[in-house]
Structure 1
Amino acid sequence: MFEFLRSYIIYLALLSGSIGLISMHKLPGKKAKFLVILIWFSVLIEFIGYYFTYWTGLLNYYVYNFYMFVSFSAFILLLRSLLLKINYRMTAVFFLVLFVISFILNSIYFKEDTNRSFTYSFAIGVVLVLILSCLYLVEIFNSDKILNFKRSVFFWYVLGILVFHVPFTPFMLAINWFLIKQDESVFSLVLFILNFLAHGCYITGFLWSEKKYNY
């Protein structure tokens, strides 16, 4: 019944990406502008993923596995740039190396089942990003930034990442381990709702943030 919702995810990304472009005057540095690039990259991936099977005859797992690798690497690098403490930044570098290694190992040992293989890499990426996000939030709440953290586009972007990935991971693992039966209608509904919440956070950040808090 809800299978059609999956095709509307690209419009959510287009909306938040367009608002990001309109809000570029409030995004002074490369780090802030990088958020808009990531959103438009997701638009490109959604477009390619939608037509990939039609163009090549192959399943579009290849597209989304590539996107997963790039996006999690980008998330980790973004969080590293936001962290202030040296040991936290070093932890982010270690996590990036760990994620890349896990991706390679999963690709090698589960190469006959790309869907299950990259599910584990996805779960590892979520855990690593969750830890770094907690460190980022701890730094905010232990500094003067707590007074205006809602005016930072970075806070809302990190929140959007967590809002999507944290709930989606156990749902995806449950399907992968056959704890629940995969229903395309339910899967599309969950995917759309989480994307709606995530892009809602991105849009809030672009509209509500102020330039002086976006460096």
Structure 2
Amino acid sequence: MFEFLRSYIVYLALLSGIIGLFNLPKLPNNKAKFLVALIWFSVLTEVVGYYFTEWTGYLNYYVYNCYMFISFSAYILLIRSYLTKIQNRNTAILFLILFIASCFLNFLYFKDDVNQAFTYSFSAGVLLFMILSCLYLVEIFNSKKILNFKKSVFFWYLLGILLFHVPFLPFMLAINWFLIKQDDSIFSLVLFILNFLAHSCFIIGFIWSEKRYNY
């Protein structure tokens, strides 16, 4: 019933990406502009993922596994750039190494059949990113930035990423680990709702943020 919703996810990404481009003057440095680049990378991934099977005859897990590796690596490096404490920044580097190692081990373990979702790497990426997000929020709450944190585009981007990945992780694990039968209709509905929440946060961030808080 809801299978068609999955094809509309790309339009959510397009909308937030276009709004991000219109608000580039409010994004003063490369860190802020990188958020827009990540959104457009997700647009490209959705388009390639949608047609990948038609073009190659293979399932599109190859596309989304590559996207997962690149995006989580980018998220960790991005949040590290916003951390101020040396200990937290070093923790981010350690987490990046752990995530890359998890991807390597996941690939090694499933080397005979790489055409499936890298569930373990995705789980590791989400958990590591959640911990780094908590470290970032603790720094914000212990600084003067707490007074205007809602006017930072990065806060809204971070919130959008968390709103997508934190609920999606147990949903995906339930399908993969507990052998719950995947219903394409429910799967598409969940993906669409979570993408809607994430891109809504991105759009709010681009519109509501102020340039002086986007450094």
TM-score tier after normalising by the smaller chain length: over 0.9
1:144 corresponds to: 144
Paired residue secondary structure (1:20): helix
Gaps of at least 5 residues in structure 1 are none
Say whether the 8 Å CA contact 1:111–1:117 is kept in structure 2: no
Say whether the 8 Å CA contact 1:116–1:176 is kept in structure 2: no
2:53 corresponds to: 53
**What is the distance in 2 between the residues matched to 1:180 and 1:20?**
38
Paired residue secondary structure (1:166): helix
Letter in 2 for 1:123: S
1:11 corresponds to: 11
**What is the distance in 1 between the residues matched to 2:123 and 2:96?**
14
Gaps of at least 5 residues in structure 2 are none
Say whether the 8 Å CA contact 2:5–2:192 is kept in structure 1: yes
1:64 aligns with 2:64: yes
Residue 185 of structure 1 deviates from its aligned partner by 0.3
1:38 corresponds to: 38
1:177 aligns with 2:164: no
Say whether the 8 Å CA contact 1:164–1:197 is kept in structure 2: yes
Say whether the 8 Å CA contact 2:14–2:43 is kept in structure 1: yes
**What is the distance in 1 between the residues matched to 2:40 and 2:157?**
14
Residue 116 of structure 1 deviates from its aligned partner by 5.5
1:165 aligns with 2:133: no
**What is the distance in 2 between the residues matched to 1:106 and 1:119?**
8
Residue 112 of structure 1 deviates from its aligned partner by 3.3
2:135 corresponds to: 135
Residue 202 of structure 1 deviates from its aligned partner by 0.3
Paired residue secondary structure (1:88): helix
Q: How does 1:81-96 map to 2 (within 5 A)?
A: 81-96=81-96
Between 1:110-119 and 1:152-161, the stretch displaced more is 110-119
Q: How many residues of Structure 1 are paired with residues of Structure 2 in the alignment?
A: 215
Residue 205 of structure 1 deviates from its aligned partner by 0.3
What does the per-residue CA deviation read over 1:18-58, in whole Å, with 9 as the maximum and x for residues that have no partner? 00000000000000000000000000000000000000001
With structure 1 as the length reference, what TM-score do the two structures score? Answer: 0.98
**What is the distance in 1 between the residues matched to 2:24 and 2:163?**
24
2:110 corresponds to: 110
Residue 140 of structure 1 deviates from its aligned partner by 0.5
What does the per-residue CA deviation read over 1:162-181, in whole Å, with 9 as the maximum and x for residues that have no partner? 00000000000100013422
Q: Which aligned runs of 4 or more in structure 1 are off by greater than 4 angstroms?
A: none
Paired residue secondary structure (1:114): coil
Say whether the 8 Å CA contact 2:107–2:114 is kept in structure 1: yes
**What is the distance in 1 between the residues matched to 2:79 and 2:19?**
22
Paired residue secondary structure (2:118): helix
Say whether the 8 Å CA contact 1:27–1:214 is kept in structure 2: yes
1:208 aligns with 2:204: no
